[in-house]
Chains A and B, each alone.
Chain A
Amino acid sequence: KNEVEQSPQNLTAQEGEFITINCSYSVGISALHWLQQHPGGGIVSLFMLSSGKKKHGRLIATINIQEKHSSLHITASHPRDSAVYICAVRPSGSRLTFGEGTQLTVNP
Chain B
Amino acid sequence: DTAVSQTPKYLVTQMGNDKSIKCEQNLGHDTMYWYKQDSKKFLKIMFSYNNKELIINETVPNRFSPKSPDKAHLNLHINSLELGDSAVYFCASSQDRLNIQYFGAGTRLSVL
Q: Which residues from chain A sit less than 8 Å from chain B, CB to CB?
A: 30-31, 33, 35, 37, 41-45, 48, 84, 86, 88, 90, 93-96, 98, 100-101
CA of A37 to CA of B35, assembled, Å: 14
Which residues of chain A are within 8 angstroms of B92 by Cβ–Cβ distance? 43
Task: State A96–B56 Cα separation when bound (angstroms).
Answer: 11
Query: Quick check: is B74 within 8 A (CB to CB) of the other chain?
Result: no
A35 to B102, CA, bound (A): 10
- Interface size class on chain B is 20 to 34
Contacts of B15-72 to chain A: CB distance below 8 A? 31, 33, 40-45, 48, 50, 55-56
Which chain B residues lie closer than 8 Å to A94 at the CB level? 31, 33, 48, 50, 55-56, 94, 97-98
Q: Assess whether A30 is in contact with B56, with CB atoms less than 8 Å apart.
A: no
Chain B residues with a Cβ under 8 A of chain A: 31, 33, 40-45, 48, 50, 55-56, 88, 90, 92, 94, 97-103, 105-106, 108
Give the chain A neighbours of B102 by CB distance below 8 A.
45
A88 to B101, CA, bound (A): 11
Report how far A31 CA is from B97 CA in the complex, Å.
12
Give chain A nearest CB distance to B50 CB in angstroms.
Answer: 7
